[in-house]
Each structure stands twice: as structure tokens, then as C-alpha cells.
Amino acid sequence: MTLAAPLPRIGSADAGDEWEAPECYSLATTCFPLQRGDGDPTFAVNPDGLWTAFRTPHGPASVLLTQVPGRVRARAWGEGASAAVASVPALLGLTDTWEAFDDEAFHASLPPLVRESRRRNPGLRLPATGRVVDALVPTILEQKVTTLEARRAYRYLLRRFGSPAPGAGRVAPPGLLLAPTAAEWLRVPSWEWHRAGVGPQRSATVMRALRSASGLERLAARPAAEAAAALQSIPGIGIWTAAEVTQRTHADPDSVSVGDFHLAKFVGHALTGQRTDDAGMLRLLEPWRGQRQRVVRLLLLSGVRAPRFGPKLTIQDHRTH
């Protein structure tokens, strides 16, 4: 429910609103999956709050998100300010409900570790951006490489081909960027992908997917399972990529990142003390089908760390070839 309290004005915001927040709501924990590492130039944190920049159908916007007791506030600048503010409740997980998960019978079925993590993280919500292209490109860059390598590539490409966010350096932090549009991604030359350390298989997947960008964005209005299936119809996009996208675009409470290099081992260790593979992870999570992503998120927030086994995944530098 929108509150009637007046909005402070920083740099004469073009649009703003504030909403009642769920009890113990955590802005930082909820938005964490949306940011691709501390160096993601589409996000910034300063004393004003959490900044992000993105494009809407009405134009780009810089958005400042802040949390005060009992509510969260959004202020936005740019042509897309009003549309950006309208998207904030879903983006902040305010439309995400945990009623089924917190139902007494379901809650009692959970492992003690998950119940304790839920007790310690009552403010967690699942965010839904509705922006498929913005979620898909960095996810493709993360296919079959280390997180460090993928995020380095994403930063490089955004700094080369992104655009300054509305008000950057004035009302918004300097260096805050908008990710390229689909058309701009399609114009990135092959040598720039190479300099970013992105191999030809991943760059070709990005190009192939974005040639139907308008269709991709329409997937945001479809149920998460349908959107995931449609994404997997694109060569080079499999179950892992589709799950990572719909977790962010749809707040999908059930999608599991099957094929992740570490996740199955971690879930197995957290729930049984033993490593497992993807099939074993899915068997372990099956009793909570419909809420499996919530279970995974709470396990990741539990503080449990799986022991490291075997050699580390080698960081490959495609720029030397």
C-alpha cells in the first residue's frame, strides 16, 4: 500500500513514491542477486542509499532506493522515471509472498537449518525486475567460467558500450551506467568480446538471443515456467541460464540452477553433510517443490560453507588467442 508521507527531494526527483515494507524487510539481502558483484556499474551504494539505473519502455532512469523503519522509498530521475518507480514494488520483492512457505505444516517439514535461516532472515524477499535482456546477457557471460572472469568481462563491456545514467555525476553517483540496449549489444564488434575475455561460443549465444529481443522482453508477462521453456528454445541457453534469469525477472520461487559448478555440492553438504550431483540435489529438494528456490536461498544465507575438493576451475584468458 502506498503511503501518503511526503518524499524528500534530492536534486528535484522526476518521480518518487514510498511503500509499506514487510516486517524486518531487508533491502540489501533482497536486491543482492540483482547486482553482478561489487563492481557492477549499473549499481552504486553511497550515503543516500542504493542506486541502480535501467531502461524502461518510456526511457532510461536512475533510481535511488532507501529503507527507513516500516517503509521503503524510491526516487527516480530521467525520461523513464515514472515507469521505473512503478516497477519498484516488484523489483524490491514487495509483491513476493511467503505465506505458503511460512504455513505451519510446510514450515515444519523443512530441515532445521532452513528453519533457522528463515528465522534469522525474515526480511528476505525474491525480486522481480521484469527486464529479461538485462538479466540474460550477464547470465550468458557466466556460462562455464568463473564468476570472477564473467564479472570482469561484464564490467569491461558496460564501460565500453554502456551509457551514463540520467543525472550521473550530479544527482546520481558518477560512473553509474545504463546497460546497453539489445541493439547496442548487437553492434559490439567481435574483437571487443575478445578483449573482454568472452569466448566466441558465449558471444554468439548473446547475439543469437538478442536478435529476437522484443520477444524476449514479452516473456516477462508469461509465467516463469513458460518463460524458462521459451528461453531454452534458443541454442546455447540451457536449464541453468533460464533458471538464473527467471529467478531475477519473475521472482520464481521454485527454479533451481541445475548445472551450476558448485550448487549441487553445496546443497548436498548443507542438507546431508555429503556432496551430491544435480540429480541428487533435485531429489533432496523434491519434498519442497514449488518453493525450492526459497529453500536454496535460505541455505545460501545459513552461513554453511561446503568444503573445497579437487582443483579449482582455471580462469581462461581468451584474449591471448
The Cα–Cα gap between 296 and 311 comes to: 25
pLDDT for position 2:
38
Helix, strand, or coil (residue 103): coil
Do both 279 and 224 map to the same domain? no
Which one of 213, 246, 279 terminates a domain? 246
Stretch 4-24: mean pLDDT: 75
For residue 240, what are the CA distances in angstroms to 59, 256, 258? 31, 8, 5
> What is the number of structural domains in the chain?
2
Residues 285 and 141 in one domain: no
Give the cell for residue 25.
524487510
On the question of pLDDT at 5 being above 70, the answer is no
> How many residues does the structure list for the chain?
321
Supply the pLDDT for residue 306.
74
pLDDT digit string (tens) for 270-316? 999 999 999 999 999 999 999 999 999 999 999 998 776 554 444 45
Entry pTM:
0.92
Work out the angle between the directed axes of helices 132-141 and 147-161 (0-180°, nearest 10).
130
Are residue 193 and residue 279 in the same domain, yes or no? no
For 146-169, the pLDDT digits (tens) are 999 999 999 999 999 999 999 999
What mean pLDDT comes out for the span 47-68?
97
Is residue 49 included in any domain, yes or no?
Answer: no
Domain ranges, residue 182: 132-162+178-246
Domain boundary among 246, 267, 295: 246
Asked if pLDDT for residue 91 goes beyond 80, the answer is: yes
What is the C-alpha separation between 76 and 55, in angstroms, rounded? Answer: 12
Residue at which a domain ends, from 228, 246, 264: 246
pLDDT in tens, 168-187: 999 999 999 999 999 999 99
Nearby residues of 179 by Cβ (< 8 Å), 6 or more positions away: 42, 54, 55, 134, 137, 158, 162
